[in-house]
Amino acid sequence: EDPSLERHFKGHRDAVTSVDFSCAKKQLASGSMDSCLMIWSMKPQMRAYRFMGHKDAVLCVQFSPSGHLVASGSRDKTVRLWIPSVKGESTVFKAHTATVRSVHFSSDGQSLVTASDDKTVKVWTVHRQKFLFSLSQHINWVRCARFSPDGRLIVSSSDDKTVKLWDKTSRECIHSFCEHGGFVNHVDFHPSGNCIAAGGTDSTVKLWDVRMNRLLQHYQGNAVVNSLSFHPSGNYLVTASSDSTLKILDLLEGRLLYTLHGHQ
């Protein structure tokens, strides 16, 4: 056993595709190719709930800011909103016509943005649980979509090798970043809302200023970047790569700080 690992969670019957943590509820959510969503308690009694409802692989999961809901997106073309309790009740959102790869709540928990292989980004209301509108200028699969911290902007990344910035109110694309050499797997807003980070198959991580639309930082790796996440302070970025490593980037110094080995 690796002494630095706190705990192994075993329960999925196939590859785990996605995880999210709720600080509010001290729970972990995971999605899997086994079509199930699982909720794990981090408390000592360690209850785990298996939620069934999706008809195909679950590719993305996220807790709402309060932790009272979990959203999931699936290869069955649907999005589900779950109440993470014993009953595991869920509501189904149907509007995408292909695999849903990304789900993200706005910081006020009122809206949900989803991204799909149908080349669209869709926005939904959480309270009334209905579809609001589509953003459809990408010309290939959309891998990821995120709200800005203030909820006014949406960023999306696609296999058309672009990252697009959208105004939520006008529903228009206000800028396309086209300088990536490959598919863009993941994109997210800096906690300040002033810049975005994007990573993809060209093994790079790029930080863009969304006010001036210019490149701020560029990190060249040697493996596909699958996912990334900012530290809440905004000073660090963690990336997950196909070389089985995590990398922590120091954004103030503009350099690689650590490479974390552990996955096989």
User: Domain with 62 in it: what CATH number?
Assistant: 2.40.10
pLDDT at 179 over 80: no
Query: Would 99 be classed as within a structural domain?
Result: no
* Whether residue 253 sits in one domain with residue 129: yes
pLDDT at position 1:
46
* Whether residue 89 sits in one domain with residue 201: no
* Whether residue 159 sits in one domain with residue 30: no
The 3-state DSSP class for residue 31 equals: strand
- Look at residues 81, 39, 73 and name the one whose alpha carbon lies nearest to residue 56: 73
* Domain coverage including residue 48: 13-94
pLDDT at position 97:
97
Mean pLDDT of the chain: 93
pLDDT at 141 over 70: yes
* Whether residue 42 sits in one domain with residue 63: yes
* Whether residue 57 sits in one domain with residue 177: no
**Which of the listed residues 43, 76, 94 is the one where a domain comes to its end?**
94
pLDDT at 153 over 60: yes
Query: Which helix or strand (DSSP H or E) is residue 259 part of?
Result: strand 255-260
* Whether residue 210 sits in one domain with residue 229: yes
Number of domains in the chain: 2
Query: Would 6 be classed as within a structural domain?
Result: no
Instruction: Write the pLDDT tens digit of every residue in 93-111.
Output: 999 999 999 999 999 999 9
* Whether residue 203 sits in one domain with residue 133: yes
pTM for the full predicted model: 0.93
**Residue 210, domain CATH:** 2.130.10.10
* Whether residue 70 sits in one domain with residue 108: no
Q: What is d(CA 217, CA 205) in angstroms, rounded to the nearest whole number?
A: 8
pLDDT at 18 over 70: yes
Q: What is d(CA 116, CA 95) in angstroms, rounded to the nearest whole number?
A: 10
Confidence grade of residue 207 (pLDDT, cut at 50, 70, 90): very high
Query: Would 22 be classed as within a structural domain?
Result: yes
Query: Would 3 be classed as within a structural domain?
Result: no
Q: Phi, psi at residue 220, to the nearest 5°?
A: -100, 115
* Whether residue 213 sits in one domain with residue 127: yes
**Which of the listed residues 70, 94, 118 is the one where a domain comes to its end?**
94
